[in-house]
Amino acid sequence: MDNQAVNGKKIAAGKAIEYVRNGMTLGLGTGSTAYWAIQGIGEMVKQGLTVRAVATSVQSESLARELNIPLIPFSEVDRLDITIDGADEVDEKLNLIKGGGGALLREKIVAAATRFYIIIVDESKLVRHLGKFPLPVEVVPFAWELTQRRLAELDCIPHMRMAGDKRYLTDNHNYIFDCQFGQILDPAALHRKVSDITGVMEDGFFINMADIVVAGSPAGETRIINKPS
């Protein structure tokens, strides 16, 4: 990853954690951008901030423990005050593609339980239409070949995600297909078609979920984009 993108991620994360307040229950995202937000929250905890948090992946949970961010089981959560997470693409209506880090199912569960959902990206992730980044689709291992064929019938190329010479396994012990659709003009409609396939656990479309997007530039500037009214 180039230094400009890293700088944009750091800057966006630094702006997003300004929304965190004492006593909040937080959702901690997953991936290279959320990493910087978790680091920032850890520093705030070190300085005396009192919060509770749930993590969207084993990776983020481990990082939070290292930073002494108090974690609670999801069974104790009804609503989260704020979740800060990254995205692989953001379109003009703040629809997202997520799941490049493999945590899309847990991320969506956490997002759906969140009052104020903040997405942080470097500005290169802002696009007019989704689709340059392949859509991650989490599927159950049973009969995955059939699920792959059904996905291909939607005019995409579904590639099994690999970890070395083995199939990548999510924290939920499922597989991921990275589906190349090309330009996606109607994400909501495609989301419905993908979700209707038996064997699909979740896809990486996050439709109408983000409340704001904080985009960071390598020059040190941040832009806050609000959900269209």
Range(s) for CATH 3.40.50.1360 in the chain? 3-126+207-219
What is the mean pLDDT of the segment spanning 192-221?
96
- State the CATH class of domain 135-203: alpha beta
| Partners of 226 in the β-ladder | 212
Fold held by 3-126+207-219: Rossmann fold (3.40.50)
Q: What are 122-158's pLDDT values in tens digits?
A: 999 999 999 999 999 999 999 999 999 999 999 999 9
Please tell me which residue in 61, 89, 107, 123 is annotated as part of the active site. 107
Residue 189 has a pLDDT of 98
Judged by average pLDDT, the poorest of 1-10, 20-29, 41-50, 186-195 is 1-10
Q: Which has the higher per-residue pLDDT, 125 or 3?
A: 125
Distance between CA atoms of residues 54 and 17, nearest Å? 16
pTM of the predicted protein model: 0.95
Helix (H, G, I), strand (E, B) or coil at 137: strand
What span, in angstroms and rounded, lies between the C-alpha atoms of 45 and 23? 11
Q: Is 123 part of the annotated catalytic residue set?
A: no
Residues 6+ apart with CB under 8 A from 76: none
Q: Is the pLDDT of residue 54 over 70?
A: yes
The reported pLDDT for the residue numbered 2 is 63
H/E element holding 226?
A: strand 222-226
CA atoms within 13 A on the CB side of 196: 8
Share of the chain above pLDDT 90, in %: 94
The answer to whether residue 4 scores a pLDDT higher than 80 is: no
Mean pLDDT, the chain, whole residue set: 96
Start-end ranges of CATH 3.30.70.260 in the chain? 135-203
Token reading at 64 = 């939070």
Mean pLDDT of 63-70: 98
- In this prediction, residue 228 has a pLDDT band, given cuts at 50, 70 and 90, of confident
Q: How far apart are CA 106 and CA 58, in angstroms?
A: 10
Q: What is the residue-wise DSSP string for 46-100?
A: HTT---EEEESSHHHHHHHHHTT--B--GGG-S-EEEEEE--SEE-TT--EE--T
Residue 112 banded pLDDT, cuts 50, 70, 90: very high
Q: Are 214 and 82 in contact (CB under 8 A)?
A: no
